[in-house]
Amino acid sequence: MKKTALIIIAVLGILLLRAAEDLPSWGDPQSPASVHLSNYYLEESYEETSVPNIVTAVLADYRSYDTLFETVVIFCAGITVLLILRRTPRRWPKVISPRPNRPGADIILQTAARLLVPMMQLFALYVVAHGHHSPGGGFQGGVILGASLILLALSYDIEMALHRFKEKFVLLFSAGGVLLYAAIGLVCLYLGRNFLAYGAWADLLGISELAAHSHGMLGVEIGVAITVLCIMFSLYIDLASGGDLDEGL
């Protein structure tokens, strides 16, 4: 197997190195990748969407169909892990040995976590809400929100984290986030425009088309954040406890 692998990577390496000669050098402003679509987005997107963060504008508006399915990928992974891990009868040996019971040993960790978690969540909301103007957006904010719950589960245990955020709601919200995203697009469809054409919201909300684009993006980013939050947490609790949802790591 090792020999086959070496042959494969040798062939691939030679191919890729030969191809690299042909590519534009690093940071070349005239490379084809940086002039065609890129310049259009840089020059026009603020006029067309009123969002200064161009990455957000491209992500959530020009290519928002991609982003919808990106959210679906996350959702799909969450359901997949659920389906795989949570079916076995409990007679198999545990993958992760139970942690030693040392009462009081985690006190520093737990106090620190109690202080950190609200800060993290507040910051995450800022990242979601300010994604139009600064680095950030639904995925980033959602991951930070998820991390705050994971921190809780790490410093206490999974049962405690699940007490705060019931598993029923985890599943409900993870589908709900994608549904929110799709619903924003479907309303456009219903109003006679194409799917995800946020301009259709202008009449409904009584705002200009430009503002409708901005609002539409905010809406879908919130949907993304909800799904990412839930699935990150769900992936952690499932993987850390082998699907048993008990104490975990």
68: three-class secondary structure by DSSP: helix
Question: Could you tell me the smallest distance in angstroms from the CB atom of residue 91 to another protein?
Answer: 10
Selected range binding another protein among 107-115, 121-129, 155-163, 239-247, rule: CB under 8 A = 239-247
Token code pair at residue 21: 């000669």
The number of residues making up the chain comes to 249
Residues 71-100 that bind another protein (CB under 8 A): 72-88, 92-93, 95
Residues 55-74 that bind another protein (CB under 8 A): 55, 57-59, 61-67, 69-70, 72-74
Question: Could you tell me the smallest distance in angstroms from the CB atom of residue 20 to another protein?
Answer: 4
User: Contact 195/63 with Cβ under 8 angstroms?
Assistant: no
User: Contact 217/51 with Cβ under 8 angstroms?
Assistant: yes
User: Contact 215/169 with Cβ under 8 angstroms?
Assistant: no
**116, 125, 160, 239: which one contacts another protein (CB under 8 A)?**
239
**149, 235, 237, 248: which one contacts another protein (CB under 8 A)?**
235
CA atoms within 13 A on the CB side of 216: 34
**124, 127, 128, 139: which one contacts another protein (CB under 8 A)?**
139
Q: Cα(57)–Cα(195) distance, rounded to whole angstroms? A: 17
248 touches another protein by CB under 8 A: no
116/189 with CB nearer another protein:
189
Q: Cα(59)–Cα(65) distance, rounded to whole angstroms? A: 9
13 touches another protein by CB under 8 A: yes
**20, 107, 108, 115: which one contacts another protein (CB under 8 A)?**
20
User: Contact 89/116 with Cβ under 8 angstroms?
Assistant: no
**127, 197, 202, 212: which one contacts another protein (CB under 8 A)?**
197
Question: Could you tell me the smallest distance in angstroms from the CB atom of residue 99 to another protein?
Answer: 17
**141, 219, 223, 243: which one contacts another protein (CB under 8 A)?**
243
Question: Could you tell me the smallest distance in angstroms from the CB atom of residue 105 to another protein?
Answer: 27
Return all residues near 217 (Cβ < 8 A) that are at least 6 apart.
Answer: 49, 51, 56, 57, 60, 61, 64, 132, 198
Residue 52 — φ and ψ, nearest 5°? -70, -25
Question: Could you tell me the smallest distance in angstroms from the CB atom of residue 118 to another protein?
Answer: 25
**125, 193, 245, 247: which one contacts another protein (CB under 8 A)?**
193
Number of shown-chain residues binding another protein (CB under 8 A):
101
Secondary structure, 3-state, 3-37: HHHHHHHHHHHHHHHHHHHHCCCCCCCCCHHHCCH
Selected range binding another protein among 30-38, 120-128, 148-156, 159-167, rule: CB under 8 A = 30-38
